[in-house]
Amino acid sequence: MPKPFREVLDSGKFVVTSEIGPPKGTNLEEMTRNIDLLKDKVDAINVTDNQSSAMRYPSLGGCLLIKDRGGEPILQMTCRDRNRLALQSDLLFAYSRGIRNVLCLTGDSIPVGDHKEAKGVFDLDSVQLLRTVRTLESGKDLGGNDLNGAVKFCTGAVVTPEAHPIEPQMHKFKKKVAAGAEFFQTQAVYDLNNFRTFMQHARPSNVKIFAGIVLLVSAKMAQYMNANVPGIFVPQELIDELAGAEKGKALQKGVEIAGHMIKTIKDERICDGVHIMAIGKEKVVVDILAAAGLL
């Protein structure tokens, strides 16, 4: 049985989390295999919520599966697909089924996804959602009504250390802290100097910060993500390093790059941990952990 995530945060150890993308459908075989692969090697596993605005099996379902398999799940909730009623309902349900960690996100926009004519809800934004969790914890809902049975969550949020300009992001970061965020998983970090500067500004807020590590499998993938995935900026040197790898060894290069970055962050204690995102290649997370010397 894994430790509850909040206990892990309080322990001060170098935290490692990862994430699983659910399937587009009800065939949960691969997701189950990925969960089994990771559950004992990381402190908690996020399940993404209609990631990149593509319709998938819900995060809530993935989290229940993780619990069944003996792992520690982090529920991801975006504000894009559900209004404030549905978000509160889902929080009640999640709590009732033993889910104790929730990451509150705005959500990618509709046009980047695969249902381009859908309505993007955005009834709440991420800051308001964080406050909503705290409101529910106080025993009331957003309408001011008393709850019959409360909730308690360890809440997290996201920040983009590579944003240009960075100042508006930092102000929003502080708003999220004020709204109750206890931990932050960042968008992909590639430039450690930028990240160190970011951490200087973020440290005084006294929350746990986990650097987002996104596995790059090829130069093409890096370029695609730069152009199409919001919040991700891969520097040219890394694209070149990947392009320069021997034929068939680009993935290995990507693993090396990720592993090296994690090791540096841990050794220098730049932040409190890492969140490994190996989109579509969850199996490779184990290799990355090995490359980082964490297994």
Residue 193 burial class via C-beta count within 10 angstroms: exposed 0-12, middle 13-18, buried 19 and up: exposed
Closest C-alpha among 89, 86, 128 to residue 105:
128
Pairing of β 73-78 and β 101-105: parallel
Candidate ranges 29-37, 158-166, 272-280, 282-290; the one touching other proteins (CB under 8 A):
158-166
22: tokens are 């659910």
Give the shortest CB-106-to-other proteins separation in angstroms: 4
**Cβ closest to other proteins, residue 71 vs residue 107:** 107
Residue 204 burial class via C-beta count within 10 angstroms: exposed 0-12, middle 13-18, buried 19 and up: exposed
Within positions 72 to 91, which residues make up the interface with other proteins, using CB under 8 A? 79-80, 84
Q: Assess contact for 4 and 73: CB atoms under 8 A.
A: no
Give the shortest CB-187-to-other proteins separation in angstroms: 6
Candidate ranges 69-77, 165-173, 215-223, 244-252; the one touching other proteins (CB under 8 A):
165-173
Cα 114–chain centre separation: 21
Give the shortest CB-72-to-other proteins separation in angstroms: 24
**Cβ closest to other proteins, residue 23 vs residue 231:** 231
Closest C-alpha among 51, 258, 42, 17 to residue 156:
17
Closest C-alpha among 85, 95, 21, 92 to residue 59:
21
Site string for other proteins, 185-214 (x = CB under 8 A): --x---------------------------
Q: How many residues bind other proteins (CB under 8 A)?
A: 38
Candidate ranges 4-12, 38-46, 174-182, 213-221; the one touching other proteins (CB under 8 A):
174-182
**Cβ closest to other proteins, residue 251 vs residue 277:** 277
Question: Binding of other proteins at residue 175 (CB under 8 A)?
Answer: yes
Within positions 97 to 126, which residues make up the interface with other proteins, using CB under 8 A? 106-109, 111-112, 120, 122-126
82: tokens are 């559900």
Question: Binding of other proteins at residue 164 (CB under 8 A)?
Answer: yes
217: tokens are 């499998």
Q: Which of 131, 208, 253, 275 binds other proteins (CB under 8 A)?
A: 131
Question: Binding of other proteins at residue 174 (CB under 8 A)?
Answer: yes
Side-chain-side CA neighbours of 145 within 13 Å: the count stands at 6
Give the shortest CB-22-to-other proteins separation in angstroms: 21
Question: Binding of other proteins at residue 169 (CB under 8 A)?
Answer: yes
Q: State the Cα torsion 226-176-53-164 to the nearest 10°.
A: -20
Q: Which of 2, 231, 238, 279 binds other proteins (CB under 8 A)?
A: 231
The rounded distance, in Å, linking the Cα atoms of 129 and 157 is: 10
Which residues on adjacent β-strands are paired with residue 46? 19, 74
Within positions 16 to 55, which residues make up the interface with other proteins, using CB under 8 A? none
How many Cβ atoms sit within 10 Å of the Cβ of residue 97? 11
Q: Point out which residues bind other proteins (CB under 8 A).
A: 79-80, 84, 106-109, 111-112, 120, 122-128, 131, 142, 158-160, 163-165, 167-169, 171-172, 174-175, 178-179, 187, 230-231, 233
